[in-house]
Structure 1
Amino acid sequence: MFENFTSFDIITQSDPSVSVHGIRGGSGPPLLLLHGFPQTHHIWHRVTPQLVQDFTIVALDIRGYGASSKPSGIAQYSKTVMARDCSVVMENFGFTSFFVGAHDRGARVAHKLLVNYPDRVRKAIFLDICPTLAMYSKTDFEFATAYFHWFFLIQEAPLPETMIGLDPRKWAELFMGGRHAGLAPFDAGVFEEYVRVLEDTDAVHAMCEDYRASASVDMDEAKDDLEEGRLIHCPLRVLWGRHGVIERCFDAVREWKDVAAPDVNVDGASVDCGHYIPEEAPDVVSQNIKLFFR
């Protein structure tokens, strides 16, 4: 599936038991790819073949997901910590300046990466996301209904962990298949990878901790960033699914402009698909990466 890619595990903090897993391949300027919930780097399997001739690709399993470490504690999943993981990995390969493509939860990590390491990221593309603070603070009935998992997964452990663990496959089928396109966008083998991760109780707990962090420490950090003028300083493009929640509930470009410096170019457009853009519309993603990062 990822031909000519090599896998790696890199220690990203003082605790040698905590590492981030990923794959690397291709040639050209470095491109970091980050996935969403409840997925892994496998979301990019239809995108990477179109990019390996143009970019050196590093695709991670973000902390708590896939084959990456799953340390205990909400603080371990603050987006500051997860952004540091990304910075350490890229620096380990000698990449001190790079592009970023990120979907869903990965784009929340990438948002903090752009804010905390403004000299590292040249340009970024975010997929089907608005800033966490904006989405929580502007929650209405329609958003809460469509994104029920934002409020389910943050419940005190072990409630959501127990409910998902009763039948991980059914959870994946109903949750991921309950969006616009059903299960049709997912390659059968890749979907099995997602199910396998959901069958890991440590992974499910880590994913819940990721969401709990977003509803607590990440919100506090986002407020502090705005109050202290820590903003995005690189060009940003946002793509969102025309049949998804971002289209219905938010002005994505406006929300991202609100957390970017005034002189930063922020643009975006809807894509004729649902939430899982890298798997539903890989050609559109690849084309935008090639053109915007040129």
Structure 2
Amino acid sequence: MDKFESFTITTQTEPRRRCRLEQAPLLLLHGFPQTHHIWHRVAPQLTEAYTVVLMDLRGYGRSSKPAGVAAYAKSAMARDCAEVMSQLGFDKNKFFVCGHDRGGRVAHKLCVDYPDRVRAAMFLDICPTLAMYEATSFEFAKSYFHWFLLIQPAPLPETMLLANPRKIAEAFMGGRQGDGINIFAPECWEEYVRGLSDPTTVESMCNDYRAAATVDLEEAREDLKRGSRINCPLKVLWGQHGIIEKCFDALQEWQKVSSEDVSVGGHSVDSGHYVPEQVPDVLVSEIKGFFAV
């Protein structure tokens, strides 16, 4: 665990021993409503080439869960990432970052706010938050209803999630791909259900989304206004069977928030939303090919 600013961020390095500073560092960031467990099929395949760092984002898993919406601004969560990597000894060399879902949004802000720290980035199954909210359509709102539910004032969404966490997890997470919850390892699934069963974690998750619909949008507009964009190599992967494929031009949207000299690459993969758990071997191949060392 790494402690700073009175917060504790839970991290794990693979393999579980002293960080090997001679290896290229790779930071992996999870999404909602998950934890670093999403990488359990991916991380072990990467340890020969990278020092792999897994984090529980603030508000999730065993990391601290500060109160208030502002605490979950992606700028604050990106600062956590920068601090963690510094405390692990990666303060003088750049690192790679791969983020899924909410973790991808944190990684986006990390690239913008700490351009001297990020060597290259990969985002999984997302478009920029500002672009997704501004282009809201019926199809998007129907599929991503939680974006609009979780931003409602407390305690409405918290009460609804906590009423039957396991059933909600089964319906929500299982409903995003044809194989249902079978794509999740049982022990990881229980971690996700445990998070959805904890009132403090659920409050933090809702504040994460509330921040996304308020302070994050304000910061995104300000970044674009002052020309703060992604300056590192960027690759984007998204599920063929998800909302990004249906409603957005992912490469175009990410190019808009990247510098002109940054070529954004990427493509869809044969997956639903949970790319790291549904097609881990595909993702490993993409990571090794893009994060060349």
For Structure 1 versus Structure 2, the TM-score category normalised by the shorter chain is over 0.9
Corresponding residue for residue 85 of structure 1: 80
Corresponding residue for residue 130 of structure 1: 127
The reply on whether 1:95 has 2:90 as its aligned counterpart is yes
Corresponding residue for residue 65 of structure 1: 60
Partner Cα distance (2:142, 2:287) in 1: 32
Corresponding residue for residue 211 of structure 1: 209
Moved more, 114-123 or 90-99: 90-99
Q: Secondary structure at the match of 1:139?
A: coil
One-letter identity of the residue aligned with 2:70: A
Corresponding residue for residue 150 of structure 2: 153
Q: Secondary structure at the match of 2:10?
A: strand
Partner Cα distance (1:93, 1:20) in 2: 12
Superposed CA deviations along residues 198-217 of structure 1, whole A, max 9, x for unmatched, are 11100000000000000000
The reply on whether 1:25 has 2:14 as its aligned counterpart is yes
Corresponding residue for residue 10 of structure 1: 2
The reply on whether 1:221 has 2:219 as its aligned counterpart is yes
Partner Cα distance (1:50, 1:44) in 2: 10
Partner Cα distance (1:152, 1:245) in 2: 17
- Contact kept, 8 Å, 2:14 with 2:43, in 1: the verdict is no
Q: How far 1:169 moved relative to its partner?
A: 0.6
Q: How far 1:12 moved relative to its partner?
A: 3.1
Structure 2 unaligned blocks of 5 or more = none
Q: How far 1:49 moved relative to its partner?
A: 1.4
Corresponding residue for residue 50 of structure 2: 55
Partner Cα distance (1:184, 1:145) in 2: 24
Q: How far 1:265 moved relative to its partner?
A: 1.7
Partner Cα distance (1:25, 1:172) in 2: 28
One-letter identity of the residue aligned with 2:209: Y
The reply on whether 1:120 has 2:112 as its aligned counterpart is no
Question: 1:117-266 residue pairs with structure 2 within 5 A?
Answer: 117-181=114-178, 182-266=180-264
- Contact kept, 8 Å, 2:14 with 2:44, in 1: the verdict is no
Q: Secondary structure at the match of 2:183?
A: coil
Q: Secondary structure at the match of 2:166?
A: helix
Partner Cα distance (1:157, 1:106) in 2: 23
Corresponding residue for residue 5 of structure 1: none
TM-score with structure 1 setting the length: 0.95
Partner Cα distance (2:72, 2:25) in 1: 25
TM-score with structure 2 setting the length: 0.95
One-letter identity of the residue aligned with 2:116: D
Q: How far 1:10 moved relative to its partner?
A: 1.1
Q: Secondary structure at the match of 2:49?
A: coil
One-letter identity of the residue aligned with 2:225: E
One-letter identity of the residue aligned with 1:120: R
User: How many equivalent residue pairs?
Assistant: 283
Q: How far 1:19 moved relative to its partner?
A: 1.2
Q: How far 1:279 moved relative to its partner?
A: 0.2
Question: 1:272-283 residue pairs with structure 2 within 5 A?
Answer: 272-283=270-281
Corresponding residue for residue 101 of structure 2: 104
Superposed CA deviations along residues 73-103 of structure 1, whole A, max 9, x for unmatched, are 0000000100000000000011131000110
Structure 1 unaligned blocks of 5 or more = 1-8
Find runs of 4+ consecutive structure 1 residues off by over 3 angstroms: none
Q: How far 1:150 moved relative to its partner?
A: 0.2
One-letter identity of the residue aligned with 1:212: R
Q: Percent identity?
A: 60
Partner Cα distance (1:287, 1:119) in 2: 26
Moved more, 39-48 or 171-180: 171-180
Corresponding residue for residue 267 of structure 2: 269
Partner Cα distance (1:286, 1:22) in 2: 20
